[in-house]
Structure formats: C-alpha cells, structure tokens
Amino acid sequence: MINHNTETSIAYGYISANVLHPDVVSSLLYGDGCDMFTDHSWEDFRGNAVAEWRAENPDSDLDDPEVWDEIEQDVGPYYQPDEARTSGVYDGVSFATSWLGGALNFWIFRSPTVTDKAGRASPCVPGAGILDDLDGDVTCYNVPDDWRDSDTV
C-alpha cells in the first residue's frame, strides 16, 4: 500500500498549508516548539558549504567547533531555500513538508488524531487522505482541530 503507515496500515494525511493556522505553519517550517525537527534544505546547503570549505581549506579540522562557527557565519546569510524541506514531530504529530505545483503542503505520517472523513487523493499523492475538507470517506491520520485556521473552516 502506497502512502500508508507500515506499522498501523493507516493512510497518511495530506493537507494544504492554506487551511492551517499561520502559527502552526511557521512551527512546521522552522521547528518552533517541535519535539524533533530537521531542516533537510539547510542540511543539504550546509553539506555543500562544508565540501567547498574542505576544498579550499584541506588542512582544517572539522572537529573544531570554531571551524563550524566560521563556516556557518560564511554561508548562513546566503541560505534561502525556494521550497524548504523539513520534517519532525509537533504536538505528537509526525510531519514533513511537501511542495506540489509550488504550493506548500504537509504530509501527516502519524498522529494521535485519525479521521474517516478525508477526501480521496489525486494520483499525485496516491493512497493518502486529503485533509483540506473533511467531506470524504478515507480513513487517515489527521491534524488536531486547533491546527486549522478558523478563517478557512
């Protein structure tokens, strides 16, 4: 089964950032309040910067924290991802960003909340439940009610 949790067999949820409260979107993008958080875009950017640093400074000691500080000061101001790729756990919900047609969405991989009213997914996210409007019949992981923007509900 595609886009299902292999342990629970529950489908992943997929939700547009447009229906989430802006503070929640910010937390999911920048890690504020997350129990676990990884900015994959930053990790890739930093990895490339380290490779360039090593090429220019082959004798530098990457175990030295001062070297890392210098690398991050050199490259940090230039970090501006077009489509940030993040993942983590927020409010007990395991998530990851997803960009579809330039629009920000979030995968919901595991959550204390499950719905049986998600919409059927398009071929772009096969097997997942679409959480934007809960007017379907797909069972999947859901976001807590207080994540949703009250202006879009």
Question: How far apart (Å, rounded) are the C-alpha atoms in residues 145 and 86?
Answer: 22
pLDDT band at 54 (very low <50, low <70, confident <90, very high): confident
Structure tokens at 60: 């530098």
Angle at 42 between CA 111 and CA 30, to 5 degrees: 45
CA 89 to chain centre: 9
Q: What is the DSSP letter of 143?
A: -
3-state secondary structure of 19: helix
Are 14 and 98 in contact, with CB atoms under 8 Å apart?
Answer: yes
Q: Is the pLDDT of residue 129 over 60?
A: yes
Q: Computed from CA positions of residues 130, 134, 138, 141, in that sequence, does the dihedral angle turn out positive or negative?
A: positive
Q: What is the Cα–Cα distance from 7 to 121, expressed in whole angstroms?
A: 21
Mean pLDDT of 57-80: 80
DSSP string, 27-93: HHHH-TT-SEEEEHHHHHHHHHHHHHHHHH-TT--TT-HHHHHHHHHHHGGG---SS--EEEEETTE
pLDDT at 20 over 80: yes
Three-state secondary-structure class, residue 18: helix
Mean pLDDT of 35-49: 87
Q: What is the pLDDT of residues 82-105, one digit of tens each?
A: 888 999 999 999 999 999 989 999
* Mean pLDDT score, 14-23: 97
Rounded to two decimals, what is the model's pTM?
Answer: 0.83
